[in-house]
A and B are shown apart, each in its own frame.
Chain A
Amino acid sequence: MNIEYDNKDKLLTIKINEEIDHHAVEKIRRRADYEIQRYMPKRVVFDFNNVSFMDSSGIGMVVGRYKLISMLGGELSMINVKENLYKILKMSGVSNIIPIKEAKI
């Protein structure tokens, strides 16, 4: 997991570098919540470029962070979402509440 914080834009980028399943989610959740509470960012981006697999555990994790970030007055979005991840984000309705953005090239 790579964390980047842009102080000027108050933008926290959380880049996940593993398959997101029930096993992985525990650790991701703990670290993400720690960084979010530490920086109090205006915007948080989950970068899924290095995520080749995600199941419903990932949906729960993303929605959980969305709730925390919203409560703290921030916004969450996702970038570099692969086809197979998009399928379940769409099916569960998550992509309706958390925007999927095009990555800057």
Chain B
Amino acid sequence: MKDLYENEMKLEFLSKSNNEAFARITVAAFAAQLDPTIEELSDIKTAVSEAVTNCIIHGYEDSEGIIKIITKIYHNTIIIEISDTGKGIENIDKAREPLYTSKPNLERSGMGFTIMESFMDEVNIESIVGLGTKVTMKKKIKLLKKESEEELKNNLLFT
């Protein structure tokens, strides 16, 4: 067994669309210490991209604001908190529905929250109209594969 491992990082940046790639790549680089598979890393990148894009398009609309990301690692779980102080969400249940978008004219598909939910283990949305939105996502990075590889190696050594 691995010992309990904890780590944390914070990131703040302007709600400019050219920061979307910066945000997802930075979180993925931080997540890399958990030794995720390529697929797990790609899932994390996509989920972060969805949440950050939402802050820019919906939270701040045409104005500019600060997007904050706090990423924590606790044992083998990554917890990512992405927040804005923009306009907030009136109806969270509706926002979570697949294909629901308040901006169909901008060619949005309404799949952002559905993608976050399917790529991460847990997605929690907190929002107050006029104050902002915070999305917290968790994903457990599987150790299983590596441990069984280790076991296999040990077995080979002792037989």
Contacts and interface: CB of A to CB of B under 8 A. Distances in A.
A60 to B, nearest CB: 4
Contacts of B118: 91
Contacts, number: 63
Contacts of A29: 107
Nearest to B57: A22
Interface in A21-77: 21-23, 25-26, 29, 53, 55-57, 59-61, 63-64
A26 B52 CA distance: 17
B107 A61 contact: yes
B45 interface: yes
A91 B113 CA distance: 12
Interface residues of B, number: 24
B102 interface: no
B108 A53 contact: no
B115 A88 contact: yes
Interface in B1-27: 17-18, 20-21, 24
B107 A83 contact: no
Interface string A77-105: 00000011000100110000000000000
Contacts of B56: 22
Q: What range describes how many residues of A lie at the interface?
A: 20 to 34
Contacts of A84: 39, 42-43, 46
B107 A56 contact: no
Given A53-B45, A56-B109, A63-B107, A21 B115 contact: no
Given A21-B53, A88-B115, A92-B111, A53 B20 contact: no
Contacts of B59: none
B86 interface: no
A62 to B, nearest CB: 9
A22 B53 contact: yes
B136 interface: no
Contacts of B76: none
Interface of B: 17-18, 20-21, 24, 39, 42-43, 45-46, 49-50, 53, 56-57, 106-109, 111-112, 114-115, 118
Interface of A: 19, 21-23, 25-26, 29, 53, 55-57, 59-61, 63-64, 83-84, 88, 91-92
